[in-house]
Structure formats: C-alpha cells, structure tokens
C-alpha cells in the first residue's frame, strides 16, 4: 500500500510540476506578446509604422504652367465652349466614354468625339493636350477630381481625355471655377517652352479652332 501511495504521490507531484511549467511558458509567451504589442503601439524603432504613399502634384508628372497675360499674370479659365475634346475609353466598361462625353456636353463643352483607347487597362484618367491648348486643358481638368495632365507634342487644339479605372464622377459643379477665376497652376509646374522630350500625341485629326463641327 505504501508503495502504491508513493507512486500516486509522485504522479501528482509530476503533474503539478508540469502544470507550473506550462503556466510559466504561457506567461512568458503572453509577456513577450504584450511587449511586442506595446512596441508596435508606440512605434518604437519604427515598428507598426505604415508607409503611406505620398500623392505628388499631378501624380508625379510635370505639368506646364498656365499662360500669362501682358502683365505677367496668370490668365483666367476659358469658356467651356472653347474646349475641343475627344473622350477615349481606357477601361473594359462598355459605353463609359459616351456617358462621360454626355456629362461634359451638359456642362456646355462642345459635343466631344468618342472612341476607345488602345488599352483597356488604364488606371488613372489622363488629359492629353498640346502647348496651344494649355488654358483649355486646365479648364477641362477643373471638372475632374483625380486626373493627370500630360502635355504631348501635338500642335492643335484637340484635348484627349483617356478614362481610367479610378474615374468615379465629374467634380461637383459648385466646386468648378468659372471664367472670372484665375487658373490655379499645378504645384511645381514648368513654363511650357521649357518642357522638352514631350511624348508623342495619340493619333488624331488635328483641330485648330473651337468650332465643334470641326471635330470630325
């Protein structure tokens, strides 16, 4: 009986030691987890810091500054009726360009041309224009919320709007500047005559006046 009792006692003692060991390990793991959590919470050594992509002006693309008048002052936004537009669909969404073109026409822009872009995987809506339509491009751009302006080597007045996947809607009309407002230059803009190595323009029929009937 004594031998059996000793065996049970030894087994109980073993179980107690095992439980203490498990509790100790669990406590250590929890303590380490707590310390790590605190390090992340207080950003110690940079832990837990999420790097947020900085949105650069014009999404990192150099834009030309708006023209100036005889006094060297930046000119005002143009009348929408003076802007010649072609809307190109750069997404898989059927009828996308037609819908946006109609919305622009409702804002008194001349009826835009409508077509598909060469790619269906455009991410950011982009406005392409030449050096002779910078003021018009700024005017058109003010009606969008997340576009990128790109000046290419075209010489005419046609402005291409290539719709991308990020497009949601036009800017609210109340937020769009009028013809009495001075153009707000994109931060970091460069004088148009200082910009070199311009990208080739998308193939198009040149438009050299603001008559919407010329956009054929």
Q: Is 112 part of a structural domain of the chain? A: yes
Instruction: Please tell me which of 33-37, 77-81, 211-215 the model is most confident about, judged by mean pLDDT.
Output: 77-81
Written as one string, the DSSP assignment of 134-181 is: HHHHHHHHTT-SS-EEEE-S--SSEEEEEE-TT---PPPGGGS--TTS
Q: Is 22 part of a structural domain of the chain? A: yes
pLDDT the model gives residue 157: 98
* Residue 83 and residue 15 share a domain: no
* Residue 17 and residue 78 share a domain: no
Cβ proximity of 85 and 112 under 8 Å: yes
Q: Is 175 part of a structural domain of the chain? A: yes
Q: What is the pLDDT of residues 32-41, one digit of tens each?
A: 566 556 544 5
Q: Is 51 part of a structural domain of the chain? A: no
* Residue 203 and residue 106 share a domain: yes
pLDDT the model gives residue 29: 63
Query: Phi and psi (nearest 5°) for 176?
Result: -90, 130
Which domain, by its residues, includes 65?
57-208
pTM of the model: 0.73
* Residue 73 and residue 129 share a domain: yes
* Residue 18 and residue 96 share a domain: no
Q: What is the pLDDT of residues 52-70, one digit of tens each?
A: 446 899 999 999 999 999 9
* Residue 28 and residue 70 share a domain: no
* Residue 116 and residue 184 share a domain: yes
* Residue 88 and residue 18 share a domain: no
* Cα 36 to Cα 25, 40, 45, distances in angstroms: 16, 6, 11
* Residue 84 and residue 11 share a domain: no
Residue count (the chain) = 216
User: What single DSSP character describes residue 66?
Assistant: P
Total domains, the chain: 2
């Amino acid at each position: 009986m004594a031998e059996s009792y000793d065996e049970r006692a030894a087994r109980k003692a073993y179980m107690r030691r095992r439980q203490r060991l498990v509790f100790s390990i669990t406590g250590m793991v929890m303590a380490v987890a707590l310390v790590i959590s605190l390090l992340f919470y207080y950003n110690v050594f940079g832990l837990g810091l999420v790097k947020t992509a900085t949105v650069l002006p014009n999404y990192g693309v150099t834009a030309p500054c708006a023209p100036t008048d005889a006094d060297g002052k930046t000119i005002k936004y143009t009348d929408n009726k003076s802007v010649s537009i072609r809307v190109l669909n750069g997404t898989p969404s059927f009828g996308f360009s037609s819908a946006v073109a109609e919305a622009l026409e409702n804002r008194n822009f001349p009826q835009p041309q409508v077509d598909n872009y060469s790619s269906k995987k455009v991410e950011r809506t982009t406005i392409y224009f030449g050096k002779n339509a910078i003021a018009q491009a700024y005017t058109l751009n003010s009606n969008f919320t997340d576009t990128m302006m790109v000046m290419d080597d075209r010489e005419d007045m046609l402005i291409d709007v290539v719709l991308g996947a990020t497009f949601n809607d036009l800017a609210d009309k109340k937020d769009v500047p009028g013809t009495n407002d001075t153009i707000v230059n994109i931060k970091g803009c460069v004088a148009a005559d200082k910009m070199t190595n311009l990208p080739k323009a998308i193939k198009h029929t040149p438009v050299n006046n603001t008559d919407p009937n010329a956009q054929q």
